[in-house]
Amino acid sequence: MEMSNDSSIKKPKRLTSVVWNHFERVRKADICYAVCVHCNKKLSGSSNSGTTHLRNHLMRCLKRSNYDVSQLLAAKRLKKDSSSGLANIGFDEGQRKDEFKSAIVKYDPNQRRDEVVTIASSKFDQERSQNDLARMIILHGYPLSIVEHVGFKVFVKNVQPLFEVLPNSTVELSCMEIYQKEKEKIFETINRLPGRINVSVEMWSSSENIDYLCLTAHYIDEDWKLQKKLLNFITLDSSHTEDMLSDVIIKCLVDWGIDCKLFALTFDDFSTNYEIIRRIKEHILKKRSLLSNGSLFDVCSAAHTINAIAKDVIEAMREVNQKIRGSFKYIRSSQVTQRRFNEMAHQVGITSQKILVPDNLGQWNSTYFMLETAVEYKGAFNLLQKHDSHYASALTALEWEWTTGVAEYLKLFVEIVNIFSSNKSPTANIYFPEMCDVHIQLIEWCKSSDSFLNSLASKIKAKYDKYWSKCSLALAVAAVLDPRFKMKLVEYYYSQIYGSMALDRIKEVSDGIKELYDQYSICFSMVDQGSRGSGLPGMDNDSRDRLKGFDKFLHETSQSQSVMSDLDKYLEEPVFPRNCDFNILNWWNVHTPRYPILSMMARDVIGTPMSSIAPEFAFCTGGRVLDRYRSSLSPDTRQALICAQDWLCIELEDPRPLSTASYIPLLLGTN
């Protein structure tokens, strides 16, 4: 194209669009042209033509280098809002086109969504974009087939035309690679921990009647922060009988290298088969002894126990609950009935503003709210029964008494589960006082003169006693290691629970914690002696060290001397004042130098998951059920996606699901 007779026109100041970095504005006669610097194509350059057609050309220009115009435009818009968030956009004619770097939004996996996005310079990277896409799919649980959706392909092409959309099989491989890399990080982390590991075991199911085994590690790290990481999500096929679960659990522990540093196992079902526990203990005993003779090794989830008891209570009230649901439905059947009922409530002096809403059968706490509301409107329902012959769901006087009593039972359970599920750092010390309150209330409820309530209380107490006999020592030891409570809290509650037998029970706790401390003391002494021996000049750890016997003699004789141990010192000092801002992990972190041995023990005990239920499932009447998409995956892919999702959420330090819009930068292929 000959333009020797044309006069080049400098871009006037009003040409502020970044698009002009890719066009030269020239005039031929009275007509202005915009000439693409990449392919020399001429387009209208008149000020009346705007820049939309220029942008569209750049998106289609085959000779243009890998510059993302959409990113340039986004950067230009952001510059209006924040001058500090953008890199300067310009073009030096002496600079080679392939070295031009455009301003783009940089994706940082550690960046919180509420932070201002930053702009950096980079070229498009297909491999990085593919990796970011896989991370996005893992993090949000999107189906792998999303890459084959027409809408997704259109969206990606509009955001980044250079991105090559790959089949879901390729994206699946990318997800598996991310899983393997993240797994290596987790493996290194948990195997260099200063303390022991606790593991919770949960059973899941699917609509296809397939069972899954979920293992999660719980521990307190070097900074005294409570951590948990998903280890395995195992698919149990029909060949896995119940007695084989122990083999599956053992294999997972061995694969992660934590079978030798396991402190406790927490099961979601307090009636877990004894044979499973026995086999796991036998495996561990082949390599090392169990602390406290295994009395603290297997723990049952407190929240699951409360849920099981609450469901028994609701089941016992099935017929009465049906009447209450029918009563609510009748009141809500018409505006006339609703108005008449409100007038009756006003007549008997009811001021409650609660709405008559039937319960949700999938959430047992909603049944409590229904019963509580019914009790508050009891006077109005009795008046309605007298004046409305069509009302057929009325409760008898005895049934109202049962409803009042059962609502009291459920109220306690709801409050306790709320405490468990709302605690952001559920260390083991918080459970003892709550479960003691349940124990005391069950004793009182068993004294009821009503045969129905008495029988119901006796039934649920028998179930609770099984949990208490297994877990009371673990609960008490954790409470003693809370400096606000120590042995005083055990003495306070046991005097109410056991009466004249309290002293014997208190002594069991005292002996148990001393026995556990002695085992930690021996381990600490052996480590300490080893470090001192290796540090002495001119000595090595071989058989010629004649003073090894002296080290053993020194340890044994020092035990009989009147040297106050960490535990004695801790228990004799006054309790720490109770306040709402107390953080037990911070306390032990600060006091580790003062109690070096006891702090080792506290790290493992306090990190035990006394309850393994997720907050969002705290009141569910059923178990954890896998969605149809996840259950349709192969076992290896299923485990990879579920575990990697847990790890990436922790990496981002924000477990809340992020919006899709937050991940648009992933598709831009930034470094």
- Domains of the chain: residue spans and CATH: 19-61 (no CATH), 175-300+627-651 (3.30.420)
CA pair distance 514, 487, nearest whole angstrom: 12
Is the Cβ–Cβ distance between 201 and 268 less than 8 Å? yes
Res 167 pLDDT > 70: yes
Using pLDDT thresholds of 50, 70 and 90, give the confidence band for residue 97. very low
C-alpha torsion sign, points 119, 124, 128, 134: positive
Task: Average the pLDDT over 380-391 and give the result.
Answer: 93
Q: What is the pLDDT of residue 30?
A: 79
Res 96 pLDDT > 50: no
Highest mean pLDDT among 89-98, 163-172, 408-417: 408-417
Lowest-confidence region among 156-165, 495-504, 591-600:
156-165
CA pair distance 226, 220, nearest whole angstrom: 5
Q: What is the pLDDT of residue 148?
A: 92
Lowest-confidence region among 23-32, 176-185, 471-480, 559-568:
559-568
Would strands 262-267 and 197-206 be described as parallel, antiparallel, or unpaired? Answer: parallel
Q: How many CB atoms lie within 10 A of CB 439?
A: 20
SS3 38: coil
Q: Which residue has the higher pLDDT, 325 or 63?
A: 325
Q: What is the pLDDT of residue 19?
A: 78
CA pair distance 642, 646, nearest whole angstrom: 7
Q: What angle do CA 635, 624, 247 make, to 5 degrees?
A: 50
Is the Cβ–Cβ distance between 364 and 310 less than 8 Å? yes
Is the Cβ–Cβ distance between 313 and 409 less than 8 Å? yes
Residue type, 324: I
SS3 612: coil
Is the Cβ–Cβ distance between 588 and 599 less than 8 Å? yes
φ, ψ at 64 (rounded to 5°): -70, 140
CA pair distance 476, 487, nearest whole angstrom: 9
Tens digit of pLDDT for each residue in 394-408?
Answer: 999 999 999 999 999
CA pair distance 122, 103, nearest whole angstrom: 7
Q: Which residue has the higher pLDDT, 122 or 114?
A: 122
Q: Of 98, 103, 94, give the one whose Cα is nearest residue 72.
A: 103
SS3 335: helix
Task: Average the pLDDT over 569-576 and give the result.
Answer: 94
Assign residue 376 a region (left: φ > 0; alpha: ψ between -120 and 50; beta: otherwise): alpha
CA pair distance 200, 215, nearest whole angstrom: 6
Query: Buried (b) or exposed (e) across 575-588, using 16+ Cβ within 10 A?
Result: eeeeeeeeebbebb
C-alpha torsion sign, points 18, 23, 28, 32: negative
Q: What is the pLDDT of residue 82?
A: 43
- Six token digits for residue 372: 């509580």
Tens digit of pLDDT for each residue in 355-369?
Answer: 999 999 999 999 999
- E strand or H helix that includes residue 265: strand 262-267
Lowest-confidence region among 9-13, 370-374, 409-413:
9-13
Task: Average the pLDDT over 447-458 and give the result.
Answer: 95
Q: What is the pLDDT of residue 493?
A: 97
SS3 213: strand
CA pair distance 407, 280, nearest whole angstrom: 41
Kindly report the average pLDDT of the chain as a whole number. Answer: 82
Q: Of 528, 522, 507, 505, give the one whose Cα is nearest residue 601.
A: 522
Tens digit of pLDDT for each residue in 17-60?
Answer: 777 878 888 888 778 888 888 888 888 888 777 888 887 787 77
Q: Of 518, 419, 413, 506, give the one whose Cα is nearest residue 457.
A: 413
Res 533 pLDDT > 50: no
Residue type, 545: D
- Six token digits for residue 385: 């029964």
Using pLDDT thresholds of 50, 70 and 90, give the confidence band for residue 556. low
Half-sphere exposure of 666 (CA within 13 A, CB side): 19
Q: What angle do CA 48, 52, 58 make, to 5 degrees?
A: 130
Question: What single DSSP character describes residue 35?
Answer: E
φ, ψ at 92 (rounded to 5°): -95, 125
Q: Of 457, 425, 333, 321, give the one whose Cα is nearest residue 388.
A: 333
Task: Average the pLDDT over 377-391 and give the result.
Answer: 94
Is the Cβ–Cβ distance between 200 and 216 less than 8 Å? yes
Rounded to a whole number, what is the largest CA-CA distance in the chain?
A: 113
CA pair distance 308, 320, nearest whole angstrom: 20
Using pLDDT thresholds of 50, 70 and 90, give the confidence band for residue 653. low
Q: Of 273, 268, 142, 176, give the one whose Cα is nearest residue 214.
A: 268
Res 555 pLDDT > 90: no
CA pair distance 28, 50, nearest whole angstrom: 19
Statement: the pTM of the whole predicted model exceeds 0.85: no
SS3 217: strand
Give strand pairing partners of 105: 119
Using pLDDT thresholds of 50, 70 and 90, give the confidence band for residue 194. confident
CA pair distance 48, 364, nearest whole angstrom: 67
Give strand pairing partners of 26: 8, 33
Give strand pairing partners of 319: none
Tens digit of pLDDT for each residue in 504-529?
Answer: 999 999 999 999 999 998 877 665 54
Q: How many CB atoms lie within 10 A of CB 40?
A: 11
CA pair distance 324, 613, nearest whole angstrom: 30
Task: Average the pLDDT over 446-457 and give the result.
Answer: 95
C-alpha torsion sign, points 401, 441, 410, 321: negative
Residue 232, judged by CB atoms within 10 A of its CB (0-12, 13-18, 19+), counts as buried
Q: What is the pLDDT of residue 537?
A: 34
Residue 144, judged by CB atoms within 10 A of its CB (0-12, 13-18, 19+), counts as buried
- E strand or H helix that includes residue 326: helix 318-331
